[in-house]
Amino acid sequence: MKRVMIALSLMGLVWATLTGNAQAEIVSVSYGLPITYNIANFDGEGDWETDGGTSGYLLHVKLPFGLGIGMENYSRHVKAKYAVNPPAGSESCYWGNTGNPCRFKVKNTMYDVFYLLPVPVLNITVGAGLGTSEIGGDWSGDGRSTENAGLTQLYAQVGYPILAIIDVHVSYHQITAVSKGKIKYGDSLGGQTDDFDPSGSVLAVGAQFTF
């Protein structure tokens, strides 16, 4: 009987510890902003360059025991490097000209899973994601259409708790296109199809709030 009581006591202690930790930290919500999205080689030929800043958000929810899920949605423009005369019958933004350079908006959507490593002082998170990249913005009309690219990513995040319930962090995301997207031009451009590759990296900052 004594051994049974000891065993039950130990089981109760373990259960209280686990459930106590889970109740103490039911959920943490993280909101981040992408600082920059560097696209390695948009068309494989170096004819395009990034233009302007990166906009969007990163939203993640950490569940008990260090596991979590999240969503990222951000975009950045690219524009033609070269000013050339557009083909006959096309709009002036085919490759761009000095007065109207052609610009795309590259918009990525990612769905993530992550794990908070059990290390002291710093909050170190590793994660992976799947998603898509699409073309929008000024690239429209003239019978043009696009097919989305498929994306994967790996990322790491380092956070520092400044209060008991607040953490500030920075994250680095390495993005790979598992399937390239396609830009299809209309009849006025001879039915041309070009690939686009949104592979690159994202640097983001944010804050996490624990409830």
pLDDT in tens, 152-161: 999 999 999 9
User: Residue 140 and residue 126: Cα distance in Å, rounded?
Assistant: 38
**112: its two tokens:** 């993530």
User: Residue 133 and residue 146: Cα distance in Å, rounded?
Assistant: 10
Our measurement of the distance from residue 116's CA atom to the centroid of its chain's CA atoms, rounded to an integer in Å, reads: 18
pLDDT tens, N- to C-terminus, the chain (211 residues): 444 444 433 444 344 344 444 444 578 999 999 999 998 877 666 677 888 899 999 999 998 888 999 999 999 988 776 655 544 444 445 544 455 556 778 899 999 999 999 888 899 999 999 999 998 765 545 456 678 999 999 999 999 999 888 999 999 999 999 998 887 765 455 556 778 889 999 999 999 998 8
Quote the pLDDT of residue 155.
97
Closest-CA residue to 138 (of 194, 207, 74, 78) = 78
The model carries a pTM of 0.77
The class of domain 25-210 in CATH terms is mainly beta
Task: Name 78's bridge partners.
Answer: 50, 104
Q: pLDDT by residue (tens digit) across 62-81?
A: 988 889 999 999 999 887 76
In the chain, at which residue ranges do the beta strands (DSSP E only) sit? 28-39, 48-62, 67-80, 103-116, 123-136, 145-147, 149-163, 166-179, 181-184, 193-196, 200-210
Closest-CA residue to 28 (of 164, 170, 157, 210) = 210
Q: pLDDT by residue (tens digit) across 160-169?
A: 999 888 999 9
Give the domain ranges of the chain.
Answer: 25-210
